[in-house]
């Protein structure tokens, strides 16, 4: 036994001399090192040859003489562990087999990639704040470098959108809602999602990728109908308009009441849904005196109100789908018609007509010859009575009134300037007022294009008249406290021109006088 122990190293040494050997069997090589790396020298005894065994990693190695070389550019992602099997043969008999391992070290050599270029996600407007909008699994980028840690950033493309959404963490690309959505103002929000495979931006190597996120807000029924014009609105709430008007007692009024600050009009607060509105009176309709048009909201007084009284009507505007409704107050004050006479805004109206133009031809407005001249008085107290005003010419049979228009009574045969008195008669209150119309009969047809004609070369005529008209309109609007669009009064606050539909504008009366 003792003898064997002493002999063993000698025997091994003797045997070694007869077999192949290497002094290193494990290597670490960085990926992407260029091919042809010399790994080691193989000791091959006399009379033997060394070859790569069939279970070596294919194509990875090469033996030249007794030297082992790496034959490829190692790629960690493709194969991180390479094996060379060295067969040492005498003639065709394998005497020894050695294994050499190469471990490929990872390098950051792959960029991250998103599984999409543009991702469009619909988000219901009523999504709760802090809720996950897109799960992490759908937004994660892939990186072939298994050891890379990915860092994500969300960059707004739609200005202001970053207030609404954020990522849960720099390494967790779950999209979360931070603030209540508002379809009306922010229907779509676009972001750039950026991923980097390093924490810092300016290290080498570092790779990035970007993708686009589009969040389409789907309107939800969040808001009730709004009575316009809202006296305050921030897009979520509206302080509803309340409407009022004075009417004369003892008279049956034809047509819908002209209310201040405008007709009863409600819209679905959710513009994206825009349900039709149904109107009704839910309280205060004593003796069925009032009637509201369910579709238009037009309010009419069905019979004459015998004595002075103030009516407080509660008017409801309900979405046609019955989901939501609002209620506002309409105040109608019946007052004795005091008999205050109608008023002409101007003391002189200027018109023009061509010589020989015939009978029953409309006098044109000297300030705007393309339009007929209109003479209109107003009841200072009850605008609803404006329709009850009739007009006639008192002292000149060459002209006559047709409603608010002035027509020729005879064919004009003399050029010149003629005057006539126009009387307005409020047939309800019997109040009257007069004004004067000046008609210039000229040789030429008045030109609607605005090229000065003989009738207009007096110059100031046109300007004066125009100015009077405009300053009157401006004064009216000022009294309303309302911004102006053309000569359409707009609701005073909260609704920009864009937000007001054309329909709304059309429904607001032109030239209604200021509230009493
Ligand atoms: C390995 O063997 C080679 C010769 O084959 C020699 O040059 C080298 O120094 C040896 N390395 C070690 C670590 O023994
Ligand atoms: C929102 O985006 C969609 C397409 O993504 C587009 O069709 C729509 O017009 C956009 N809406 C607005 C208000 O930009
Ligand atoms: C409702 O009233 C408006 C004016 O306030 C008028 O233009 C419209 O024609 C009326 N509609 C109906 C159905 O009477
Ligand atoms: C009619 O009355 C007006 C105003 O009093 C006057 O200016 C005008 O000259 C009169 N016209 C005629 C034809 O009497
Ligand atoms: C005004 O109209 C009323 C009702 O038609 C009539 O009775 C009255 O005589 C008229 N007044 C004048 C001054 O024409």
Beta-bridge partner residues of 33:
none
Longest Cα pair distance anywhere in the chain, in angstroms? 158
Pocket test for ligand 3, best of 291, 296, 503, 507 (most atoms within 8 A of CB): 296
Show the domains of the chain with their CATH numbers. 18-105 (2.60.40.60), 118-218 (2.60.40.60), 225-335 (2.60.40.60), 348-507 (2.60.40.60)
DSSP track, 208-230 = EEEEEEEEEEEP-----EEESSP
189 C-alpha to center of ligand 2: Å? Answer: 9
How far apart CA 19 and CA 90 sit, in angstroms, is: 10
Question: Which of 197-201, 437-441, 508-512 is least confident?
Answer: 508-512
Q: What percent of the chain stands above pLDDT 70?
A: 82
Residue 427 Cβ < 6 Å to ligand 5 = yes
Measure CA 154 to chain center.
21
Does residue 367 contact residue 462 with C-beta atoms inside 8 Å? yes
Residue nearest to atom 3 of ligand 5 (CA): 427
157 Cα to the center of ligand 2, angstroms: 14
Per-residue model confidence as pLDDT tens digits over 181-211:
999 889 999 999 999 999 988 888 999 999 9
**Site residues for ligand 2, CB cut-off 6 Å:** 120, 187-188, 214, 216
Q: What span, in angstroms and rounded, lies between the C-alpha atoms of 107 and 31? A: 6
pLDDT band at 250 (very low <50, low <70, confident <90, very high): confident
Give tens-digit pLDDT for 256-288.
898 999 999 999 999 899 999 999 999 999 889
Question: What is the average pLDDT across 242-248?
Answer: 90
- pLDDT tens for each residue of 352-411: 999 988 999 999 999 999 999 999 999 887 777 787 899 999 999 999 999 999 999 999
Mutate to test the pocket of ligand 4, among 398, 400, 436 (most ligand atoms within 8 A of CB): 436
Contacts of 9 (CB under 8 A, 6+ apart): none
Q: Is the pLDDT of residue 179 over 90?
A: yes
- Beta strands 67-70 and 61-64: pairing type? antiparallel
Ligand 1 atom 4, closest CA? 41
Enumerate the H helices of 410-515 as residue ranges: 460-480, 502-507
Closest CA to 243 of 255, 232, 229: 229
Beta partners for 239?
232
| pLDDT surpasses 70 at 513 | no
- Residue 40 pLDDT > 90: yes
CB 434 within 8 A of CB 447: no
- Quote the CA–CA distance of 329 and 319 in Å, as a whole number: 18
Cα distances from 409 to residues 166, 405, 425, 468, in angstroms, run 77, 12, 20, 28
Mutate to test the pocket of ligand 4, among 347, 348, 396, 416 (most ligand atoms within 8 A of CB): 396
Does pLDDT of 426 surpass 80? yes
Question: In sequence order, what are the residues at sequence separation of 6 or more whose Cβ sits closer than 8 angstroms to the Cβ of residue 465?
Answer: 346, 349, 350, 365, 366, 367
Structure tokens at 352: 């023009």
The answer, yes or no, to whether any atom of ligand 1 lies below 6 A from the CB of 41, is yes
What pLDDT sits at residue 7? 52
> Structure pTM?
0.59
Atom of ligand 2 nearest to the CA of 214: 5
In the reported structure, the alpha carbon of residue 71 is separated from the centroid of ligand 4 by a whole-number distance in angstroms of 117
Q: Which ligand has the nearest atom to the CA of 341?
A: 5
């Amino acid at each position: 036994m003792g003898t064997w122990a002493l002999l063993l190293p000698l025997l091994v040494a003797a045997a070694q001399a007869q077999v192949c050997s290497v002094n290193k069997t494990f290597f670490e090589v960085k990926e992407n090192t260029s091919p042809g790396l010399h790994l080691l020298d193989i000791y091959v005894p006399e009379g033997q040859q060394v070859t790569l065994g069939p279970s070596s990693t294919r194509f990875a190695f090469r033996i030249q003489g007794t030297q082992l070389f790496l034959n490829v550019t190692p790629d960690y992602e493709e194969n991180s562990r390479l094996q060379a099997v060295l067969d040492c043969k005498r003639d065709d008999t394998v005497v020894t087999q050695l294994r050499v391992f190469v471990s490929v070290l990872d390098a950051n050599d792959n960029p991250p990639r998103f599984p999409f270029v543009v991702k469009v996600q619909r988000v219901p407007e009523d999504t709760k704040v802090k809720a996950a909008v897109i799960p992490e699994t759908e937004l994660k980028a892939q990186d072939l470098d298994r050891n890379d840690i990915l860092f994500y950033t969300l960059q707004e493309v739609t200005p202001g959108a970053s207030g609404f959404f954020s990522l849960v963490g720099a390494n967790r690309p779950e999209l979360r809602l931070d603030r209540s959505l508002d379809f009306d103002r922010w229907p779509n929000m676009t972001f750039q999602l950026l991923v980097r495979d390093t924490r810092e931006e300016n290290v080498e190597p570092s790779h990035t990728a970007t993708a686009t996120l589009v969040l389409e807000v789907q309107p939800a029924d969040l808001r009730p109908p709004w009575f316009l014009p809202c006296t305050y609105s921030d897009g979520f709430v509206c302080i509803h308009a309340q409407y009022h008007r004075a009417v004369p007692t003892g008279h049956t009024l034809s047509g819908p009441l002209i209310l201040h600050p405008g007709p009863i009009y409600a819209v679905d607060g959710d513009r994206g849904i825009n349900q039709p509105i149904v109107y009704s009176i839910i309280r205060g309709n004593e003796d069925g005196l009032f009637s509201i048009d369910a579709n238009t909201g037009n309010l009419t007084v069905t019979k004459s109100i015998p004595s002075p009284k103030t009516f407080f009507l509660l008017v409801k505007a309900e979405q046609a789908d019955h989901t939501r409704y609002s209620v506002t107050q309409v105040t109608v004050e019946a007052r004795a018609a005091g008999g205050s006479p109608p008023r002409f805004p101007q003391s002189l109206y200027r018109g023009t007509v061509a010589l020989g133009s015939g009978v029953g031809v409309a006098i044109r407005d000297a300030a705007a010859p393309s339009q007929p001249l209109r003479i209109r008085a107003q009841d200072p107290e009850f605008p609803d009575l404006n329709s009850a005003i009739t007009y006639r010419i008192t002292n000149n049979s060459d002209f006559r009134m047709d409603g608010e228009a002035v027509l020729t009574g005879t064919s004009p045969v003399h050029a010149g300037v003629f005057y006539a008195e126009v009387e307005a008669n409020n047939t309800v209150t019997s109040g009257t007022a007069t004004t004067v119309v000046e008609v210039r009969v000229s040789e030429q047809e008045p030109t609607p294009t605005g090229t000065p004609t003989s009738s207009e070369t007096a110059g100031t005529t046109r300007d004066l008249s125009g100015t009077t008209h405009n300053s009157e309109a401006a004064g009216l609007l000022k009294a309303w406290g309302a911004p102006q669009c053309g000569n359409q009064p707009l609701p005073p606050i909260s609704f920009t021109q864009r937000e007001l539909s054309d329909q709304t504008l059309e429904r607001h009366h032109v030239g209604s006088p200021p509230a009493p």
